[in-house]
């Protein structure tokens, strides 16, 4: 006896696919701003706990840790690719505001590129 099933063909991305993407610096700045200013942290301590969980590869079943880690991976891969393509530069910033001090022709927030990522932050 055959079952009548409704089916549809959908397009998927296999989990082992590697996708080359070109992304502008303004998107990276927006992602950085989202991670630091908008992601729904419960408190500054919660933010610190999320970072520690990622570094130690712990609590990955916690939805906050899982989703934060996903965004951190994206941010780190974008930064690494920008560095590999010589698309980063050094600027002097005010440590209190995070704003560039000596920079010409800059508009919008700048994204500081981390010098290295924790080993556990790579999938």
How many distinct structural domains can be found in the chain?
Answer: 1
Range of the domain at 46: 25-115
Q: Could you tell me if residue 5 is inside a domain? A: no
Q: Could you tell me if residue 40 is inside a domain? A: yes
Q: Could you tell me if residue 8 is inside a domain? A: no
Question: Under a CB-based contact definition with an 8 Å cutoff, are residues 67 and 59 in contact?
Answer: no
d(CA 71, CA 35): 8
d(CA 11, CA 49): 37
Over the stretch 54-113, which tens digit does the pLDDT of each residue have?
A: 899 888 888 888 888 888 889 989 999 888 988 888 888 888 887 788 655 444 455 555
Q: What global pTM score does this model have?
A: 0.62
Q: Could you tell me if residue 54 is inside a domain? A: yes
Over the stretch 11-49, which tens digit does the pLDDT of each residue have?
A: 888 888 888 888 899 999 999 888 888 888 888 888 888
Q: Could you tell me if residue 7 is inside a domain? A: no
Q: Could you tell me if residue 15 is inside a domain? A: no
């Amino acid at each position: 006896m055959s079952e009548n099933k409704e089916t549809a063909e959908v397009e998927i991305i296999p989990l082992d696919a590697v996708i080359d993407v070109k992304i502008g610096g303004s998107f990276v700045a927006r992602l950085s701003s989202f991670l630091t200013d908008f992601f729904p942290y419960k408190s500054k301590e919660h933010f610190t706990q999320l970072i520690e969980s990622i570094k130690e590869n712990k609590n990955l079943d916690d939805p906050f840790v899982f989703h934060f880690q996903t965004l951190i991976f994206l941010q780190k891969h974008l930064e690494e690719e920008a560095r590999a393509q010589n698309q980063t530069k050094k600027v002097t910033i005010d440590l209190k505001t995070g704003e560039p001090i000596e920079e010409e022709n800059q508009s919008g927030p700048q994204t500081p590129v981390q010098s290295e990522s924790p080993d556990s932050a790579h999938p």
